[in-house]
Structures are given as C-alpha cells and as structure tokens.
Amino acid sequence: MAALKSPTVAVVVPRLVARLCPAAFSRTSLAFPLVPAHFSGLRPSCDRPAHPSVPASKSGFSTMSPSRVKAVLTADVGLTKPSEGIVPQIAITATESHVTEWKGDVVVIGVFEGGFGKDVNGIFEDSALKKLDDALGGIFGEIVVEEDFTGKAGQTSSARVSGHGFKRVGFVGLGKPKSASSKTWKSLGESIATIAKPAQAKSVAVLIANPPELSSEAKVSAASTVSLGTILGLFEDTRFKAEGKKPLLEKLEIVGLGSGAAFDAKLDQTVKVTGGVILARQLVNAPPNVLLPSVLADEAENLTADYSDVLTVKILDEEACRKLKMGSYLGVSAASTNPPKFIHIQYKPPTGDVKTKLAIVGKGLTFDSGGYNLKTGPGCSIEIMKIDMGGAAAAIGAAKAIAEVKPLGVEVNFIVAACENMIGGGGMRPGDILTASNGKTIEVNNTDAEGRLTLADALVYACNLKVDKIVDLATLTGACIIALGNDIGGMFTPNDALAEELSSASQSAGEKLWRMPMEDSYWEMMKSSIADMVNTGGRPGGSITAALFLKQFVNEDVAWAHLDIAGPVWSNEKKSATGFAVATLLNWVVKQAQS
C-alpha cells in the first residue's frame, strides 16, 4: 500500500461454522511447510494506505483445519497456535405477532426521532408509541423523561421489566425517519448485539416502534440488514487469545415488519453473506507470521473443496508465474523468503449456461514492509500492514458467499497475486525496471507502491480470461484515506454503467463507496524517461494516479472498476477487520445474474 509520508495517513447459520470453527469441521487438509528463500526477482513499490497508527492486534487466523495450522506454525516465527474460531449460530425468523405476546429474554425496540410529544396528561400523542408504552406499563415514558431519550441515532437505554414474557427491554435511537437507510438497520443490528451480550440473552425480539412508510421490498431488506448487523456485532475474533467466550444468543425474532417466503429467502441469503464477511475478517486479522502467501493459497484450496460443486481453484507457483512473464508481480515478491502464490478461484453455476463472465481481483500483500522505501516514523502503520491483503480477503470472502447463494447465468473468477513486500539482497530496488506480462515496462521510483505492481499482472491475467467486467479491490493508497476518511471506499472507473451497478450494490449492503475522478491529464506525473511509466506519481492526487496506473493493464473493451478500500477495511475503534466489500460484491454478482 502506498503510504503518505507525513501525515499518513428459522434460518440457521450453515457451513460457515464448519469453516471458522475447526472443531466442528475436522477435515484433514494439506500442510504447506515453510520453504526457504526462492529466487531473486523484481520488486515494486509503495501501494498501500497509511492508516493512523494502531497498536498491533494479537488476533490471528484459524479458518484452516487444526492439522494444517500446526504444520505451518511449529516452524514459524513466534510458535503461534490459533485456537478454534467461535462463530455465532443464530436462528433468525420474521413474524407479525405483537411484541407483548413474545416470550424470551430481551426485547429491543428501535425508535425514530419525532413523535415524542405528550398531551397535558403526559400521554404520547403518537398512537404507536402510546400503545407501546401502555403495553410496557409506562416504562418507555419513564426512560424518555429520565434519560432524555429522543430517538437520536446511536442513543441506547435498557431496563429490567416484570410481568411480561421477557426479562429486559432495550431502546435504540434510529435517527430521523427521512434519513433511514441500510446503515440505519445495520446499526440497529449492532446495537442488538451490544445489548444482548451483557444481558447474557439467548433470545431477542426486535421491533420498530414508529417505522417510516416502507414498501414491501424495503421491509424485507430492513429485516435482512438488521440480521446482518446482529450476527456481525456478536462475532469476536478470539482465536489468538488465551480464552474466548461463545456468544450466547441463539434466536433472533424480527417482529412486525412482515413474514413469509420473501422474508425467509432473504434471511437465508443474509446468513450466507455473514459467512463470507466473517471469513474476510479472519483473513485480515491474521498476523503475518501465520497468514503467509502459501497459507492463503491453502485456504483457497480448502474453500473450493468445501464447495466443489461450483468452485475450482488453480494455484500458480513462482515458476508458473515466470512462464507467464509476470515480472511486475515477481518483482514485489523477490526479497521474501516466503514464495509467492498466484490464486485463481473460479465459480461456475451448478446448472444452465453462462451469460456473463466476471472477474474480482483482490490485492494480496500478506505483509508490506515498504521494501527499501521502508515504512518508518509516526503514522507509517507498519504494525498493521497485515491488512494489505484486505482486497484479497474481500474477494475470497465473496467467493464463499457466492458459492453458498449459487447465482445462475454468471461465471466469476476470483484472482489474488499473494506475496510479501520485504527487504533482501535479491529484492527489488528503487530505480529497477520491471516488465509486466502485457509487455509494458515500469520504472520503480518507490518500493512502497508495490500493490499496484502485483495488481498489474493480475489484471492482465483477468483480461486474458475474456471476462466482460472486472472489479479490483485494494488497500492501495493513503491518499484515499486522506480524501474520504476511514468509512468510505473510493471507486474509480471510466464506465458509468458499472459505477451505477456498484453504487447500487453498496447501498443495499450498507457500505459506502464514493466515485472519484480519473483525470487523464494526471498521467503526465506517471511518465518515465526510460520506461513506459513510473509506479508512483508523488503526493498530489495519489489515489487518482494509482488508478490511472492500473488502467494501463486493462483491455479497453472490458468494463473495469477499481475500489480503493484502504480506509474501511479496518476499524481503528475496534482494532479489527471489518470484512468491507464482501456484501457489496455479492449484491453486484447476484444482480448480474438476474440481468
């Protein structure tokens, strides 16, 4: 990732338990022993966002089977042995019964701003809130007065109750009704998890007290997104801690939005999405002494074995990549003692013809030291450079989700050029010239702009598959974090139709993308006097010049978009991965299958 110098920037969870909880999934898998240094190759430069300095996480990676983990780690730095992953297993249903009829542990009530006015007798003027307050014996009214609860987004309160079929009631502010979006419903789900944990609740019902006018489709979507937020809010990656607690919540009932086949189908798909998001989180959280390029390739093989009806995988080693003349990618990997692994997972529908061929390309730097342009000083974020494979994690997580959903009529190719960017006598130097697999030459003026060099050969490979559309994802530039902050991904594409598709998919997923300009005149900064281009154009417009660089390796007849997810791939607040873009990618692929 290219860094700025200063400042730097009833439905039940299915097989996802098997993948992330090895105990529930004891399948023997191949062990990849550590291999000594390979050959000396070309090495690129600085392609990753500089995140604000964050203490190194101790979380790791255990989606692989215990036998393989042990085989790899006993020979590795630190002798780290991850424990079993603990994943929420929740039955989710949608019903239309009244909340007062529900029996369980906790009722969570989402409340929008407005409608809190009372008459002279202190009774709610809003009929829905009055009915709710009456049903709860006046507790809601007391909380409104005593805690100044107004329904503002993020407000929460809870209280014990008696005389009902449940023990505790929680209230969550949802903000202004006109501002309701997927983000609103996802936040409600996360608040449900926050309330349920300390209450040690095994069952929760959720109700929207004063919902805005919603279409039937919007109600289904809201139920889905609340469920997504709840499951992900409960998940904690404790594989590398001495002890981990299993989430107690077993049942979530969504009351009052509706019920029926449409709800059941959508909730089923939601659970499948969470499996992919959690896998992506675990991959990014994994420490670099555990998630080597070979281990990432191993995980790809395990994933395809789990879904062999629709997934296949091809792993190219260093020699195979040399034959394909991937000089740009191999330049980045040259200094590392851990050899590169080029991963190609292919999804094909179980039945019917393929009408559309897609490629999802994820940047896969399992660790980025910066190379000879070493990441140093405050804000360089070298301690969390394990996240530089966030694009690869999103791609592989999406592969899992798509393999679960099994959309028809579409082929999807997931491509990851996995490697490390290290320092060594045989490594790439500033001033070297690399030759990519499409014949274009690159003068390396910064070894810490390495991600784009690996993506260059990955994009050429994707185009050679004769796909119709390509989306690449990368923690590419600190400049994008400076421009958009930590919550929004940058979208770069010359194709308006593809931009609209991805925007729609991200909005449905509750994830934020913002289309950025691709100013062709900025290419002047990327010109070299002795090669076809340099690999970085400096600080001004850094995320734009990075996208223009990638464009040089995509065929003009292929619709292509680049997503710079340097900011949203990691939560500074939680010091953990987010799984960003998995849900967006699934929505996009499913839509392609339907069109």
Instruction: Look up 452 and say whether it is catalytic.
Output: yes
- 515: alpha, beta or left? (left if phi > 0; alpha if psi -120 to 50): beta
Rounded to whole angstroms, how far apart are CA atoms 523 and 527? Answer: 7
DSSP symbols for 262-309: HHHHHHHHHHHHHHHHHHHHHHHHS-TTTS-HHHHHHHHHHHHHHTTT
Instruction: Look up 375 and say whether it is catalytic.
Output: yes
Q: Where are the beta strands (DSSP E) in 198-250?
A: 203-208
DSSP symbols for 146-208: HS-----TT-EEEEE--SSSSSEEEEEE---GGG--HHHHHHHHHHHHHHHHHHT-SEEEEEE
Alpha helices in 406-511 (DSSP H): 451-464, 478-484, 496-509
The active-site residue, picked from 219, 452, 512, 551, is 452
Q: Are 28 and 290 in contact (CB under 8 A)?
A: no
222: Cβ–Cβ under 8 A, 6 or more apart, which residues? 185, 208, 214, 257
The active-site residue, picked from 19, 375, 386, 512, is 375
Structure tokens at 324: 């394909």
Q: What is the DSSP letter of 389?
A: G
SS3 541: coil
Structure tokens at 587: 């929505």
| 217 backbone dihedrals φ, ψ, rounded to 5° | -65, -40
Rounded to whole angstroms, how far apart are CA atoms 311 and 356? Answer: 16
574: Cβ–Cβ under 8 A, 6 or more apart, which residues? none
Rounded to whole angstroms, how far apart are CA atoms 80 and 76? Answer: 8
Tell which residue, 179, 145, 162, 182, has the closest CA to residue 171: 145
Q: What positions carry a catalytic annotation? A: 375, 452
